């Protein structure tokens, strides 16, 4: 649905103090909730849509508010909320035993340096990956639809009311089902494991209407590609991998362990090749975007500003300043260690790492987010590639120094945290710029809002991390002294720390990544064959996602894509298809809003399931979950078909 018409930029308030203030105010609860959930279960939620809804509710009470001002609020909040994902790396320093807490200024400046680079690197990517691209940007489109419906309802009209009803219907259904699962009356996932002829495998499906809605928005090509990735991972690779491993645990734990320690690395290798190829395919438009940016740097648009970026001098200043800040932080980080004598060389090496790797990561993450959405983008896979690359460079350069192993591991994690901040930022930025394109926003104003969001998040992250470290601690960290006996799992941070130690210590098993790279090359060849023959494309990254991500997260997206394509084909009319887009957007909205509320309840009550009314082993939960989920999907599309015939 990325071909929705873009609204022309209009006069009126957009980058206002009240809009910025509201966006910053929403940063605290949204970012804190994302940090907690990310450390607890390894997942975060997109904050742009909840912020857009809250913004419309609050700014709508004030005179002169408009769709572009509301867009600025969601831009600030989503930029800040996504920066919470830096906690997938930074706690690795505590888990390693290098830090005992999170020093404010070091953590703050690391998030700022990486986050600013993520923003400015996506500026020249905007024309290549947003303006002149057919990437679907599901969350960007959904946020734009939310903002448009709110604006249309304020103006009035029957079509606006019908669109609002579609959005509300999808939202209520999605939120209602999540409430049911949060009460433990219904299960939220179908998960089963079984033996095959040569090994074992599994089947997983998350009862998430938000993932189904995302599938409706991304389209059939991405959905089928993800199905191919699932088949490669779970029908082909998993039986072989499990047949070669010794089982010392129940079947479910055994298969899950093989997925986490082996299949994900194959997926990471496939994603690395697919991401590199996708970047090469878009290098022409990217260079064109850079040329256009330079050509237009002196233009002062006074009318339509829908294609105007920040001034070139400010972009250069931000790149230089952020890169030098990252180098200075690396220089100071190794002070007093066995590699302190090489601090200046390390700082100089950090500059090309941040510039070259940072730009590549920005392009890759922006492309991934445009393909399947920021929430579904496997950004932790980029973290794996980043820490492996950083550790290889540092190990090759300074590994011969006596006592250097632990400082180099810590430094690799620290540099990766800045690269990951850039990845988080770019993973969200282009999604926001897509929303802005569709509602007629001025890109340069949004880019300023994105920078403000990064700073707001950078203030919140170290405070919340220190609070959680003191209250819970992190699994795997030495000398835990916390008020609870159940430390936060911090799964990605543990993995990142283990990878850095494995690479620098020479203990990483490379053959899995090489197998994945070979699979990735085959996927690229298949997609090129499809392009040459005029068949439906198989986006290589989407296939990689199917291998890397848990099946429970990818299978609903694929099913949603198939159902959405079938619906669009049957109804045919533009009005009915737009209603389908709005219902799918509502599915994302409802679950996102409840995710914010539930995160607050989890933190406030210090319980995993504060709304639970029955025990975790409620016998009817599986049946209620399956029947309820299927029933809601049938209800929503039956409602759509009824409206389409009206």
Q: 538 to each of 83, 295, 546, how far by Cα in Å? A: 30, 35, 12
Both 634 and 523 in one domain: the answer is: yes
Look up residue 131 and give its DSSP letter: I
pLDDT, tens digit, for every residue of 604-625? Answer: 777 767 888 888 888 899 999 9
Total domains present in the chain: 2
Both 287 and 276 in one domain: the answer is: no
pLDDT value of position 301: 45
Q: Does the residue 138 lie in any domain?
A: no
pLDDT band at 238 (very low <50, low <70, confident <90, very high): very high
User: Domain boundary residue among 482, 507, 532?
Assistant: 507
Q: Does the residue 142 lie in any domain?
A: no
Give the C-alpha separation, 49 to 52, whole Å: 5
pLDDT exceeds 70 at position 356:
yes
Q: Does the residue 154 lie in any domain?
A: no
Both 318 and 463 in one domain: the answer is: yes
pLDDT value of position 241: 92
pLDDT value of position 147: 79
Give the C-alpha separation, 369 to 428, whole Å: 7
Q: What's the 3-state SS for 489-512?
A: CCHHHHHHHHHHHHHHCCCCCCHH
What the block records as the tokens of 319 is: 């790149």
Cβ atoms within 10 A of the Cβ of 36, count?
A: 22
Q: Does the residue 2 lie in any domain?
A: no
Q: Residue 505, Cα to own-chain centre: how many angstroms?
A: 30
Contact 416, 386 (CB under 8 A): yes
pLDDT, tens digit, for every residue of 564-607? Answer: 999 988 987 877 887 887 788 778 767 766 765 776 676 677 77
pLDDT, tens digit, for every residue of 310-349? Answer: 888 888 899 999 999 999 998 998 888 888 888 898 889 8
What the block records as the tokens of 628 is: 């309820």
Q: Does the residue 1 lie in any domain?
A: no
**How deeply is 384 buried, as exposed, middle or buried, from its count of CB atoms within 10 A (0-12, 13-18, 19+)?**
buried
Contact 409, 82 (CB under 8 A): no
**Region 201-210 average pLDDT:** 89
- H/E stretch holding 193 reads strand 189-195
**One-character DSSP codes across 222-273:** HHHHHHHHHIIIIIIIHHHHHHHS---S-HHHHHHHHIIIIIHHHHHHHHHH
Both 288 and 349 in one domain: the answer is: yes
Give the C-alpha separation, 412 to 92, whole Å: 10
**Region 444-463 average pLDDT:** 88
Of 253 and 595, which is predicted with more confidence? 253
pLDDT band at 521 (very low <50, low <70, confident <90, very high): very high
- Beta strand 189-195 with 200-206 is antiparallel
Both 479 and 370 in one domain: the answer is: yes
What the block records as the tokens of 141 is: 């489109």
Both 463 and 331 in one domain: the answer is: yes
pLDDT value of position 635: 94
**How deeply is 180 buried, as exposed, middle or buried, from its count of CB atoms within 10 A (0-12, 13-18, 19+)?**
buried
Q: Does the residue 148 lie in any domain?
A: no
**Quick one: residue 401, left, alpha or beta (phi over 0 = left, psi -120 to 50 = alpha)?**
beta
Both 101 and 73 in one domain: the answer is: yes
Contact 242, 201 (CB under 8 A): yes
Residue 101, phi then psi, degrees to nearest 5: -150, -170
pLDDT band at 297 (very low <50, low <70, confident <90, very high): low
pLDDT value of position 80: 74
pLDDT, tens digit, for every residue of 166-205? Answer: 878 888 998 899 899 888 899 888 889 999 888 899 999 9
* Range among 551-565, 604-618, 622-636 with highest mean pLDDT value: 622-636
Both 196 and 235 in one domain: the answer is: yes
Helix axes 209-218, 358-372, angle to 10 degrees: 100
Of 241 and 597, which is predicted with more confidence? 241
Look up residue 357 and give its DSSP letter: I
Both 529 and 454 in one domain: the answer is: no
Contact 466, 32 (CB under 8 A): no
Is the whole-model pTM more than 0.75? no
**Region 203-208 average pLDDT:** 90
**Region 268-282 average pLDDT:** 74
Q: Does the residue 147 lie in any domain?
A: no
Average the pLDDT over each of 375-389, 438-452, 578-592, 610-624 and give the range with the smallest value: 375-389
What the block records as the tokens of 331 is: 């220089």
Contacts of 312 (CB under 8 A, 6+ apart): 293, 294, 297
Give the C-alpha separation, 287 to 293, whole Å: 10
Both 460 and 533 in one domain: the answer is: no
Q: Does the residue 139 lie in any domain?
A: no
pLDDT value of position 300: 46
pLDDT exceeds 80 at position 392:
yes
Average the pLDDT over each of 21-25, 86-90, 414-418 and give the range with the smallest value: 86-90
User: Domain boundary residue among 472, 491, 507?
Assistant: 507
Both 529 and 571 in one domain: the answer is: yes
pLDDT value of position 636: 94
- H/E stretch holding 375 reads none
pLDDT value of position 8: 46
What the block records as the tokens of 538 is: 């198989």
**Region 66-94 average pLDDT:** 81
Of 298 and 427, which is predicted with more confidence? 427
pLDDT value of position 3: 47
Sign of CA dihedral 317, 320, 323, 326: negative
pLDDT value of position 279: 65
pLDDT value of position 501: 80
In the three-class reduction of DSSP (H, G, I as helix; E, B as strand; rest coil), residue 123 is classed as: helix
Give the C-alpha separation, 234 to 212, whole Å: 21
Q: 526 to each of 228, 512, 533, how far by Cα in Å? A: 11, 21, 11
Both 255 and 276 in one domain: the answer is: yes
The residue range of the domain holding 634 is 159-281+512-645
């Amino acid at each position: 649905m990325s071909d929705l018409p873009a609204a022309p930029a209009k006069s009126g308030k957009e980058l206002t103090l009240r809009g910025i203030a509201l966006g910053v105010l929403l940063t605290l609860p949204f970012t804190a909730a994302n940090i907690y959930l990310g450390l607890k279960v390894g997942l975060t939620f997109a904050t742009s849509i909840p912020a857009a809804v809250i913004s419309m509710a609050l700014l709508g009470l004030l005179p002169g508010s408009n769709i572009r001002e509301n867009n600025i609020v969601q831009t600030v909040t989503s930029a800040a909320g996504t920066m919470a994902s830096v906690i997938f790396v930074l706690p690795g320093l505590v888990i390693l035993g290098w830090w005992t807490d999170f020093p404010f200024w070091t953590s703050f400046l690391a998030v700022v340096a990486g986050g600013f680079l993520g923003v400015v690197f996506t500026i020249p990517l905007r024309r290549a990956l947003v303006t002149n691209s057919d990437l679907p940007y599901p969350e960007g489109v959904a946020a734009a639809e939310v903002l448009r419906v709110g604006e249309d309802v304020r103006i009035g009209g029957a079509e606006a009311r019908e669109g609002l009803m579609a959005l509300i219907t999808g939202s209520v259904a999605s939120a209602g089902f999540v409430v049911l699962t949060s009460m433990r009356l219904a299960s939220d996932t179908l998960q089963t494991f079984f033996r095959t002829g040569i090994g074992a495998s599994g089947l997983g499906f998350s009862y998430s209407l938000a993932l189904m809605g995302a599938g409706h928005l991304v389209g059939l090509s991405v959905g089928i590609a993800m199905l191919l990735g699932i088949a490669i991972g779970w029908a082909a690779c998993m039986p072989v991998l499990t047949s070669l491993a010794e089982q010392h645990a129940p079947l479910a734990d055994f298969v899950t362990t093989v997925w986490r320690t082996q299949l994900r690395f194959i997926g990471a290798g496939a994603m690395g090749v697919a991401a590199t190829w996708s970047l090469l395919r878009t290098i022409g438009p990217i260079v064109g975007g850079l040329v256009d940016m330079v050509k237009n740097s002196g233009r002062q648009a006074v009318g339509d500003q829908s294609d105007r970026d920040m001034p070139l001098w400010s972009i250069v200043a931000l790149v230089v300043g952020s890169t030098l800040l990252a180098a200075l932080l690396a220089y100071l980080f190794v002070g007093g260690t066995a590699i302190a004598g090489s601090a200046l060389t390390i700082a100089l090496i950090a500059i090309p790492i941040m510039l070259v790797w940072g730009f590549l990561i920005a392009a890759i993450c922006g492309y991934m987010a445009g393909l399947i959405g920021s929430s579904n983008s496997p950004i932790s896979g980029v973290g794996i590639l980043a820490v492996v690359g950083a550790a290889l460079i540092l190990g090759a350069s300074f590994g011969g120094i006596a006592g250097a192993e632990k400082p180099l591991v810590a430094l690799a994690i620290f540099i990766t945290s800045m690269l990951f901040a850039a990845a988080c930022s770019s993973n969200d930025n282009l999604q926001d710029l897509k929303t802005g394109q569709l509602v007629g926003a001025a890109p340069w104003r949004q880019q300023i809002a994105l920078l403000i969001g990064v700073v707001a998040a950078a203030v919140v992250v170290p405070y919340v991390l220190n609070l959680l470290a003191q209250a819970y601690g992190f699994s795997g960290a030495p000398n835990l002294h916390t008020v609870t006996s159940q430390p936060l799992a911090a799964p990605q941070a543990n993995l990142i720390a283990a990878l850095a130690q494995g690479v620098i210590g020479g203990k990483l098993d490379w053959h899995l990544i090489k197998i994945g790279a070979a699979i990735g090359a085959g996927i690229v060849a298949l997609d090129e064959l499809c392009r040459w023959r005029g068949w439906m494309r198989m986006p290589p990254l989407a296939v990689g996602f199917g291998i890397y991500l848990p099946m429970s997260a990818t299978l609903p997206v694929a099913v949603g894509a198939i159902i959405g394509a079938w619906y669009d084909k049957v109804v045919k009319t533009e009005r009915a298809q737009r209603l389908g887009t709005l219902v799918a957007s509502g599915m994302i909205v409802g679950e996102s809003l409840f995710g914010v509320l539930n995160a607050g309840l989890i933190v406030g009550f210090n319980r995993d399931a504060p709304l639970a009314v029955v025990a975790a082993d409620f016998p009817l939960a599986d049946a209620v979950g399956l029947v309820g989920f299927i029933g809601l999907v049938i209800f929503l599309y039956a409602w759509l078909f009824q409206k389409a015939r009206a």
